[in-house]
Amino acid sequence: MTAADAEIAERSAVWTAAGAARLPVELRADGCAVTIGGVFVRDWSEADRRRRALRWWAGLWALGIAFVFVPILHFVVPPALLVAGPIVASRISGTKRTVFGGVGPCPRCGAAVVVGGGIELKWPLRETCGRCYLAVAVAPVRGL
Ligand SMILES: [Zn+2]
């Protein structure tokens, strides 16, 4: 197992442990053989979204209450968190799919190419190999 394989396996394991599903993807670049990697996503059900939103809302308000007892900061932080609670909660409840990130071997040098998380999933994703600076297009494996 190469260092790149180990890195790919390690990242994949972290995302899988976080509840993400692996979407097989192809890494393509001009003049190179296609390699296969994975993008990790999690789809949130209606109930999941409601639960996550409520948890964030409650957490932010609890934090706001805690700051009521902190001198000076109590003028700013609790009102800000009071407002932020429902705003953040509505954002979270609107998030149907979370992208954790993706990883696959570079078509040219074989190094692990990491796709950033927290992005909107729009195929093909564009990434650059950190070792050989090859521009790589990442798209779902055809026929899926
Ligand atoms: Zn490379």
Q: Where are the domains of the chain?
A: 3-44+96-140, 46-94
The alpha carbon of 53 and the centre of ligand 1 are apart by a number of angstroms equal to: 40
DSSP state of 64: H
What is the distance in A from the centroid of ligand 1 to the CA of 105? 8
| pLDDT tens-digit series, residues 8-60 | 999 999 999 988 999 999 999 999 999 999 999 988 899 999 999 999 999 99
pLDDT at 6 over 80: yes
Residue 118 is predicted with a pLDDT of: 67
Ligand 1: centre distance to CA 112 (Å)? 8
For residue 80 the two structure tokens come to 């800000």
The tokens describing 36, both together, are 């296969």
| pTM exceeds 0.85, yes or no | no
73-129 per-position pLDDT tens digit = 999 999 999 999 999 999 999 988 888 899 999 999 999 999 887 666 778 889 999
pLDDT of 97: 85
The confidence score (pLDDT) of residue 107 equals: 95
Q: Is 112 exposed, middle or buried (0-12, 13-18, 19+ CB in 10 A)?
A: buried
Q: How far is the CA of 101 from the centre of ligand 1 (A)?
A: 18
Kindly indicate the confidence band of residue 142, based on its pLDDT and cuts at 50, 70 and 90.
confident
User: 125 with 38: CB under 8 angstroms?
Assistant: no
